[in-house]
Amino acid sequence: MPTEPVAESPLATALSQLRTAVDYLGLSESEWATLSTPRRILEVAVPLRRDDERVEMFKGYRVQYSTTRGPSKGGVRFHPDIDLDETIALAMLMTWKCALTNLPYGGAKGGVAVDSGTLSLRENERLTRRYTSEILPIIGPERDIPAPDVGTDERNMAWMMDTYSVNAGYSVPGVVTGKPIVLGGSLGRNSATGDGVAIAAREALKARNIPIEGARVAIQGFGKVGYWAAKAVEKMGMKVVAITDVSGGATGFATIDELWEGIKEHGTLANIPGLERITNEELLHFECDVLIPAALADSLTGKSALGVRAKVIVEGANAPTTPAGDDILNDKGILVVPDILANSGGVIVSYFEWVQDNQDYFWTADEVAERLNKMMMRAVTEVHELADGKGISWRTAAHALGVGRVAEAHKLRGLYP
């Protein structure tokens, strides 16, 4: 049985996935060296004046992993546990994700090691603006385009856009994506990651000849990704049977709207009366057709993957499965739709938003949904065909496609000087 390497971490996971893709593609050690090295790392101190006048210092990061295929792109995370290694790993994943989906971008990620839940609205604004001004020299619509991620949302993007624009002296909506609609945001961006997760789930069920109507879905995480994924799979005819969030978990609800109303009334998922409680572990091991990990990294490990009973896993979160967990899921014959494919809907609609901002011409919700479906379907089909044709996992196929495109772009651009 595979055992967990000692230094398990999102960066170790990302590097091991890259190694598999590089070996599969038969790339040279020089290409490995190029592909496994982040291009630009910025670590900043972010001072925050709290509402009570105390000043606290937080660590902030922006990692531009690659700019070979275009400006770097990726979210900004506000979470107490983030560090440089995790930010590098997530920036690396963004690079392969953008290449896999054929977006003209490299990959980036950023964040501040802070618990956003402890910030008042004004503290959140001050922290966001100061972080933005610290990374200002390296971002821009043609350089690096941030977006929301765990712990940030469209309000943070509005403040980032405003801070950048005030410094530039004119409005620059294309500097960030995931903005409010009135500031140049795109219709459909809020729900895009979840909508894409649902498309990936639908296609994975088809690949396994499991009927979509009535397929049982368990979801870990009820935030920006989990909530919209739940709504979207329900619309497709699937049935969400269990959900967990940071407060706890529940099963025995009828619809997502009913659950959402319950949360609004009782504060948290765990407080809704009349539902059967489940733990996070019970959720991961729930008897279902589709399991959607949509929380943080390292959920499915060499230990927790052993009890998984789902037929298909669709990775809404980034890096939710460790290499040891992945080996176990593959051995069990479970189809895993990897993060860089499953959650690519978010950055795809971010790309649409950037295109609309750059052209000052905005699309309808139907146009966004139709183009999202088309781009996801192209990526899903490519991954499915490569995986079946070569007898490899969907993860290896997805990484091979993404990494292969970046390697090809490196080769064509050549080395300066």
Nearest distance, CB of residue 314 and ligand GLU, angstroms? 14
Total residues interacting with ligand GLU, rule: CB under 6 A: 11
Distance CA 220, CA 117 (A): 20
- Give the other-Cβ count within 10 Å of 386's Cβ: 18
Taking the complex as a whole, the smallest distance from the CB of residue 43 to ligand GLU amounts, in Å, to 20
Q: Binder to ligand GLU among 70, 75, 262, 320 (CB under 6 A)?
A: 75
Q: Please check whether residue 74 is in contact with residue 146, taking contact to mean a CB–CB distance below 8 angstroms.
A: yes
* 74 or 226: CB nearest ligand GLU: 74
124 binds ligand GLU (CB under 6 A): no
Let me know: does 163 contact 194? Beta carbons within 8 Å.
Answer: no
Contact range with ligand GLU by CB under 6 A, out of 48-56, 70-78, 250-258, 373-381: 70-78
What secondary structure letter does DSSP report for 140? B
**Chosen residue from 34, 66, 244, 343 binding ligand GLU by CB under 6 A:** 343
Q: How far is the CB of 149 from ligand GLU (least distance, A)?
A: 4
Residue 109 bears catalytic tag = yes
Q: How far is CA 279 from the centre of its chain?
A: 24
Q: Which listed range, 60-68, 262-270, 289-297, 344-352, lies at the site for ligand GLU (CB under 6 A)?
A: 344-352
Residue number, nearest CB to ligand GLU:
75
Q: How far is the CB of 46 from ligand GLU (least distance, A)?
A: 19
Q: Which of residues 280-319 bind ligand GLU (CB under 6 A)?
A: 318
Q: CB within 8 A of 47, min separation 6: which ones? A: 55, 56, 57, 58, 130
Active-site pick, 59, 73, 97, 109: 109
Task: Pick the closest to residue 102 from 389, 390, 374 (CA basis).
Answer: 374
By CB under 6 A, which span of 117-125, 166-174, 346-354, 389-397 interacts with ligand GLU? 346-354
For residue 51, how far is the Cα from the chain centroid?
Answer: 32
Say how far apart CA 35 and CA 328 lie, in whole Å.
27
Kindly identify the residues of this chain, within the stretch 134-193, that bind ligand GLU according to CB under 6 A: 147, 149, 177
C-beta of residue 383 within 8 angstroms of C-beta of residue 398: yes
Residue 282, both tokens: 């019970």
Q: How far is the CB of 74 from ligand GLU (least distance, A)?
A: 5
Among 73, 202, 216, 231, binds ligand GLU (CB under 6 A): 73
CB nearer ligand GLU, residue 219 or residue 296: 296
Report, in Å, the least distance between residue 189 CB and ligand GLU: 8
**Does 69 sit near ligand GLU (CB under 6 A)?**
no
Instruction: Choose between 249 and 346: whose C-beta lies nearer to ligand GLU.
Output: 346
Q: Tell me the window of 128-136, 343-351, 371-379, 403-411 that interacts with ligand GLU (CB under 6 A).
A: 343-351
Among 132, 350, 356, 396, indicate the residue that binds ligand GLU (CB under 6 A): 350
Closest CA to 411 of 142, 35, 14, 20: 35
What are the residues whose beta carbons fall under 8 Å from the beta carbon of 330, sequence distance 6 or more? Answer: 336, 393
The residue behind tokens 């809020």 is 190
| Cβ at position 251, least distance to ligand GLU in Å | 28
Q: Where are the alpha helices (DSSP H) in 106-207?
A: 121-135, 154-168, 189-207
Element (H, E) at 411: helix 394-413
Taking CB under 6 A as the binding criterion, the range among 305-313, 339-347, 357-365, 381-389 that sits at the site for ligand GLU is 339-347
Give whichever of 147 and 392 is closer to ligand GLU, judged by the CB atom: 147
Q: How far is CA 136 from CA 82, 141, 165, 166, in A?
A: 20, 11, 10, 11
DSSP symbols for 305-348: GGG---SEEE--SSS-B-HHHHHHHHHTT-EEE-HHHHTTHHHH
Specify burial of residue 286 (Cβ count, 10 A radius: 0-12, 13-18, 19+).
Answer: buried
User: Which residue ranges make up the site for ligand GLU (CB under 6 A)?
Assistant: 73-75, 147, 149, 177, 318, 343, 346-347, 350
Positions marked active-site: 109
